[in-house]
Amino acid sequence: MQEVVDQALSIHTNSEKLGLGVDVVGIEHFKTICKRTPSFTKKMFSAAEITYANKKAEPEIHLAARFAAKEAVLKALGVGFAKGVGYRDVEVKVDKSGMPRALLYNEAQKIAEKLGVTDIPISISHTKTEAVCVAIAITKASIEAKEKTKVAANEVTEQFKALRKGL
């Protein structure tokens, strides 16, 4: 029975099967960068991201949130803006239900494919002073591990029931 429990725990705690990324951006600092370097937004964001932000009362807050999302997604993949990953290799769009979605292109997409990433859900939030994003890189291996965990948990339950009957 201990072997089954150990297997279930090892499957559940194997962090290589998921990637987690978090990033926080100071709004005032971000605004300063945008004012100091006007080309920054065009280099960093897609036309769609800029258009989305410009429809808001305070576009810089929404761009800062998207910058945090790009950073969080790349952290979830285990890279930053390095290894050939460009600023526009991660784009944040809003889906039909209003949820932000991270879309990957070029090198970021290649890295995700190599890692077996099937989805990267993100959660973005902001205040007047900070923008934050959390991203989780879900892999095929994490989905398979979840299924194995269910099987292992069922085995443990059945063994426990059998042992309890013997008492």
Model confidence pLDDT, tens digit, residues 95-137: 999 999 999 999 999 999 999 999 999 999 999 999 999 999 9
Residue ranges for the known binding site for Mg(2+) are 23, 71
Q: What is the pTM of this model?
A: 0.78
Domains of the chain: 2-157 (3.90.470.20)
* CA gap 167, 141 in Å, rounded: 39
What does 53-81 look like in DSSP terms, one character per residue? HHTSSSHHHHHHHHHHHHHHHHHHTT--S
* CA gap 110, 90 in Å, rounded: 12
Q: What is the pLDDT of residues 9-67, one digit of tens each?
A: 454 444 557 899 999 999 999 999 999 999 999 999 999 999 999 999 999 999 999 99
Alpha helices in the chain (DSSP H): 2-13, 27-36, 40-44, 47-54, 59-76, 106-115, 140-165
Q: What pLDDT does residue 16 have? A: 57
Residue ranges for the known binding site are 23, 71
* CA gap 160, 110 in Å, rounded: 45
Strand 90-94 with 18-26, pairing: unpaired
74, 85 Cβ separation under 8 angstroms: yes
